[in-house]
Structure 1
Amino acid sequence: MSYQARFRVWRGDATGGDLVDYTVPVNEGEVVLDVIHRLQATEAGDLAVRWNCKAGKCGSCSAEINGRPRLMCMTRMSQLDPEQPVVVTPMRAFPVLRDLVTDVSFNYAKAREIPSFVPPADLKPGEYRMTQEDVGRAQEFRKCIECFLCQNTCHVVRDHEENKAAFAGPRFLMRVAELDMHPLDAAAEAGIDRKKTAQDEHGLGYCNITKCCTEVCPEHIKITDNALIPLKERAVDRKYDPLVWLGSRIRRRGA
């Protein structure tokens, strides 16, 4: 059943902008992205919006809908009150390029800072063996589509621009946790201490586990419970382990 929806869409660029009101037809079964496309076709041909798959798998159409970070292609109009205007704005944590498109290059810069998986020296490709439990743990984190909604909603990034230099954000701390949990990752043998770098270089201590990242994840990854909290626990264990402390003192004296 069709109806006329009121949309308030943010229009502007890096220099500024404002919400613009539109009235757009909505058909049964449609998602917000369908309506945005209709708006482009009928009233706002120059509206900038980023999208690709329209199936909730590419992470491109991230925005804020009625103040909540969401994927436009996964937000059904039937979930929203037809009596109220639908307010669509760009992700607030990242600089606006134009209209609903933001500059998310911050995230790719953070991704490059994390050392990749280190293959075990004594195993060749095809010889890797893992338990199903380890596979299942890593598979949850691999579901991430890099929509960056978790990065956008994290108040450490969202409300404090000055933190961006020191804080990787939940998506990339989850990546560190995934690698640190990997039973075949030989980072330690290569001189990489993932727990220490998570704390010292990627800002793990900034996270205060409010679970806002988990709440907006479209893949329902338990980012806080299954990645960030366990990583914090292991980082603290390492930092305050008396054997680690004693070993560092011995090495210091030997130097």
Structure 2
Amino acid sequence: MSTREFRIWRGAAGEGDFASYRVEVNEGEVVLDLVHRLQATQAPDLAVRWNCKAGKCGSCSAEVNGRPRLLCMTRMSALPPDGPVVLTPLRAFPSVRDLVTDVGFNYAKAREVPSFVPPPGLAPGEYRMAQQDVERSQEFRKCIECFLCQDTCHVVRDHEENKPAFAGPRFLMRLAELDMHPLDAAPDRKRAAQEEHGLGYCNITKCCTEVCPEHIRITDNALIPLKERVADRKYDPLVWLGSKIGRRPRSD
């Protein structure tokens, strides 16, 4: 058994300061274990969100030594052995209290993305898809909505003025998933991604991919393909010409 120094942001509504604690550390423990021990022994009023403690609910998102992480999936043994462990709330969203932030921005953006539109003429239960048709978008269904990608995206994190026009990587990935869906019949997801959800703001730094606890390749498999589709539709002269020419009626 050893001890480590923890420096944790304490405060509410953006006002506060760091408080230092020394906490016992046992082999195999994760940061959330230490936060719980701290609550039990020294700081019972410390506010932190958590639920499953298994890396599947996304509740315990915070920043550990400046990097967005899940507290329940960050092993103490993986952190630098020297210096304090610094815990702060997600920087991109308003502070509520201590390590808890108001992530309502993300739910507002989720409501702005139109849901799956079934193909006309098919009732629920009649949908048929081949596995090879859904493999590309199936990866994106692993998202646990921890919003670490939203937090680390510099378009959201460093520029508050971008938030009204930019959905962020999690919801651009959702648009890409729907655009790749073999049965989605919604009109022009690509145009909506560019004109309504701010796809053009993304400059593919891959920071969102680097912090994803589910190892989803957000940039390579969702955002870049969506950007390519938008570019083809908007700037390729042959695609543009094809979109202007109506289909000739079939003659039986």
State the TM-score bracket (shorter-chain normalisation): over 0.9
Deviation track 1:67-102 (CA, whole Å, cap 9, x = no partner) reads: 110000000011112332100000000000000000
Residues 14 and 94 in structure 2, CA contact (< 8 A), matched pair in contact too: no
Aligned to 2:165, what secondary structure does the other structure show?
Answer: coil
In structure 2, which of residues 228, 235, 243 is the aligned counterpart of residue 240 of structure 1? 235
Q: Distance in 1 between matches of 2:137 and 2:80?
A: 38
Deviation track 1:158-216 (CA, whole Å, cap 9, x = no partner) reads: 0000000000000000000000000100112xxxx110010000000000000000000
What is residue 249 of structure 2 aligned with on the other side? none
Moved more, 233-242 or 5-14: 233-242
Equivalent residue letter for 2:10: R
| TM-fit CA distance, 1:15 | 4.4
Aligned residues: 246
Q: Distance in 2 between matches of 1:65 and 1:155?
A: 17
| TM-fit CA distance, 1:249 | 6.9
Residues 14 and 96 in structure 2, CA contact (< 8 A), matched pair in contact too: no
With structure 1 as the length reference, what TM-score do the two structures score? 0.93
Q: 1:68 aligned to 2:67?
A: yes
Unaligned runs of 5+ in 1: none
Q: 1:222 aligned to 2:217?
A: yes
Moved more, 121-130 or 226-235: 121-130
Deviation track 1:116-156 (CA, whole Å, cap 9, x = no partner) reads: 00001122222212121222222200000000000000000
Q: Distance in 2 between matches of 1:30 and 1:185?
A: 44
What is residue 180 of structure 2 aligned with on the other side? 181
What is residue 146 of structure 2 aligned with on the other side? 147
Unaligned runs of 5+ in 2: 247-252
Equivalent residue letter for 2:83: Q
What is residue 250 of structure 2 aligned with on the other side? none
Q: Distance in 1 between matches of 2:134 and 2:195?
A: 28
Equivalent residue letter for 1:197: A
Deviation track 1:5-43 (CA, whole Å, cap 9, x = no partner) reads: 110000011141111100000111110000001001111
Q: Distance in 1 between matches of 2:184 and 2:227?
A: 19
Q: Distance in 2 between matches of 1:15 and 1:70?
A: 20
Q: Distance in 1 between matches of 2:28 and 2:127?
A: 45
Residues 149 and 207 in structure 2, CA contact (< 8 A), matched pair in contact too: yes
In structure 2, do the counterparts of structure 1 residues 248 and 80 end up closer, same or farther at CA, with 3 Å as the change threshold?
closer
Q: 1:158 aligned to 2:153?
A: no
What is residue 209 of structure 1 aligned with on the other side? 204
With structure 2 as the length reference, what TM-score do the two structures score? 0.94
Counterpart mapping for 1:17-56 below 5 A: 17-56=16-55
